[in-house]
Structure 1
Amino acid sequence: MSENSDKRAQFLASLTKSQRERLSHIDFKLYFLGELRRADVVDRFGTGPAAATRDIALYREIAPENLELDSDKVYRPTPAFTPLFEHNPQRVLTALSKGYGEGSGELLGGEAHPMLRCETPSSLSLPRSSILAPVSRAIHRGRAVKLGYTSIDSGRTERELVPLALVDIGIRWHVRAFDRRHKQFRDFVLTRMEEPTVLEDSVVHRDETAECDVQWSRLIELELVPHPHHPRPEVVLMDYEFPEDGVLRVRVRAANAGYMLRRWSVDCSNDHSLRGIEYALWLRDPLALYGASNAQLAPGYRDPRSDREIKAL
């Protein structure tokens, strides 16, 4: 880092959190949309025009080479523009495609709008707020819930669960929870729950908490490489940020490993036998999945010591 960059970083660190948020938004608008108006700051943060003008002036003081005012009174990034902040790609794509954070409308029940023309797949399976709210409260406060649950194996039953975490597996959301009926940690699909009620007076014991969930606590390092039979390995290298040794290492919880590998379409067979361009990656050491409770959900995986099938949720 150059001396100038170091001083700039120190100055940014000395600002208040709210000041950094406003400057980051200015940086974002210039970097990803190529324009900035004073109204952008006013609308986003609810400040007055004078305060927005001060924020833009502060940004110009820190990085005068980053922007210029055109004839339409719109600030544009210069050819020498260098972002002041690191912008997380996932958050950037969410903001561009859904418009979250562009005002208070979405918080008040209004509709957020994309910043650009974007197309994202619709979620076909989302839980109702009346289901999600008590479950999320229970997770946050460390409480148990009572609810009706319909599973493929058992049909509808009454359950007492101690929910630990929400998990998004791409096609649906589920809850990792301790099931008091079976005395073990399991996954429960939110859309299959009915009338969850937080049990305020029910004591949650230590063996019902995340610290005792071995599958949740165990982290597995997956070594992913380009699929040996992919017709264009150079494209795979472009699609994924491989390190110099050509091995993409990803750490996941054992409780989620099978879900994630299926979501990523990783060939987990011993002999990379799955075919199709959807299998861009191969799990170099399938034995890394041994002992993961849902390993058999991973494409092509075969448990070397068991023929046990994973039970439907």
Structure 2
Amino acid sequence: MAKVQTERRLHLLEELPRSQRERLFHIDFKLYFLGELRRSDVVERFETGPAGATRDIALYREIAPENLQLDPTTKAYLPTQEFTPLFEHQAQRVLTALSQGFGEGIGENLQPMVRCEFPNALSLPKMSVLAPITRAIHRGKAVRLGYTSVDSGKTEREIVPLALVDTGIRWHVRAFDRKSQQFRDFVLTRMEDPTVLADEPVLSGESAEHDVQWSRLIELELVPHPSHPRPEVVKSDYEMPEGVLKVKVRAANAGYILRRWSVDCSPDHSLRGPEYALWLADPLALYGATSASLAPGYKDPRPESERRVVRAL
């Protein structure tokens, strides 16, 4: 019976215009995560007018009548004990919406939907730098800019940006560097006056398809750190009922990600500290990844003369 009901709901939703599905999604979200819904919630979010909001709520009730009930005292709709979300809600999107707002307001007017606290980003790019870079990524163009690196100081570069990467500490750009003829990582905050070379062709060898480190996917097997006093807690925290968490990452980003997650990547799980709840069961999975040197405790098995490290300059 439940399966038939679910299929009916999906069929009804698929028949609706996208704009109406978005309004029903918002109704579902409010009921599920905030525990109440008012007609004004729909009116203010989508500017549909009271009559339109009433129709949307009525349609939601038609599709999922057991999900909500009207509280005559507050005139708000409340989720019932039998509430089952009508839509799939992704954890990352939900947490972003709860902490930063769900499209309400503009610019600094965005407000969290519930009380929350999260660390401020200490390193954010200027919009005047970010915009040309994202335009170049979207259009497949090169960029000329000034760049200050730790090794070379300030130089003028031409790069072909491929993707933005968030390391958890800062944002960088994966790009083909025409100066070194290599794919490298460039920190956005170290860029000056980027100009999109709109009329200049990008060669095939400068595209993402030729970036081996970007294209290579590595499967990592993460397990509770052998020295952790409560491995059952780690299994619960990371949803690993079988004791192993398997994740796939790009070789170009593996070191950054493992550092962000505080994963002990030493071959003998020798790192100590409460931050190391996870251990990389097979450190050799990182073999050949140019970002591997950033992974906590990682030891490259190759001779030093054969190692090649490419990370954010």
Amino acid at match of 2:278: L
State how far apart, in whole Å, the 1-side matches of 2:163 and 2:102 are: 23
Aligned to 1:82: 84
Q: 1:91 aligns with which of 77, 93, 98?
A: 93
Aligned to 1:290: 287
Q: Contact 2:219/2:249 (CA < 8 Å) preserved in 1? A: yes
State how far apart, in whole Å, the 2-side matches of 1:201 and 1:57 are: 53
User: Can you list the C-alpha shifts for 1:185-223, whole angstroms capped at 9, x where unaligned?
Assistant: 000000000000011121100000000000000000001
Structure 1 gap segments, 5+ residues each: none
1:238 aligns with 2:236: yes
Aligned to 1:39: 40
Amino acid at match of 2:259: R
Give the SS at the match of 2:223: strand
Amino acid at match of 1:8: R
Amino acid at match of 1:121: P
Q: Contact 1:231/1:277 (CA < 8 Å) preserved in 2? A: no
Aligned to 1:204: 202
Q: 1:88-237, aligned counterparts within 5 Å?
A: 88-101=90-103, 103=104, 105-106=105-106, 109-237=107-235
State how far apart, in whole Å, the 1-side matches of 2:201 and 2:30 are: 49
State how far apart, in whole Å, the 2-side matches of 1:309 and 1:213 are: 15
State how far apart, in whole Å, the 2-side matches of 1:89 and 1:172 are: 22
User: Can you list the C-alpha shifts for 1:28-47, whole angstroms capped at 9, x where unaligned?
Assistant: 00000000000100111111
State how far apart, in whole Å, the 2-side matches of 1:272 and 1:210 are: 35
Q: 2:303 aligns with which of 302, 306, 309?
A: 306
1:10 aligns with 2:11: yes
State how far apart, in whole Å, the 2-side matches of 1:295 and 1:305 are: 12
Q: CA deviation at 1:110?
A: 4.5
Q: CA deviation at 1:309?
A: 7.5
Give the fraction of aligned pairs with identical amino acids, expressed as a percent: 73
Q: CA deviation at 1:111?
A: 1.6
Q: Contact 1:164/1:177 (CA < 8 Å) preserved in 2? A: yes
User: Can you list the C-alpha shifts for 1:89-146, whole angstroms capped at 9, x where unaligned?
Assistant: 1000000001032x3x22xx35200001110100000000000011111111011000
Amino acid at match of 1:157: T
Amino acid at match of 1:206: S
User: Can you list the C-alpha shifts for 1:35-65, whole angstroms capped at 9, x where unaligned?
Assistant: 0000100111111110000000001111111
State how far apart, in whole Å, the 2-side matches of 1:100 and 1:16 are: 20
Give the SS at the match of 2:75: coil
Amino acid at match of 1:164: L
Give the SS at the match of 1:2: helix
State how far apart, in whole Å, the 2-side matches of 1:235 and 1:281 are: 11
Give the SS at the match of 1:255: coil
State how far apart, in whole Å, the 2-side matches of 1:110 and 1:261 are: 32
- Aligned length, in residue pairs: 308
Q: Contact 2:266/2:296 (CA < 8 Å) preserved in 1? A: yes
State how far apart, in whole Å, the 2-side matches of 1:33 and 1:129 are: 33
Give the SS at the match of 2:226: coil
State how far apart, in whole Å, the 2-side matches of 1:20 and 1:199 are: 40
Q: Contact 2:290/2:308 (CA < 8 Å) preserved in 1? A: no
Give the SS at the match of 1:85: coil
Q: Contact 1:266/1:283 (CA < 8 Å) preserved in 2? A: yes
Q: Contact 2:223/2:278 (CA < 8 Å) preserved in 1? A: yes
Q: CA deviation at 1:13?
A: 1.5
Q: CA deviation at 1:306?
A: 3.0
State how far apart, in whole Å, the 1-side matches of 2:23 and 2:53 are: 9
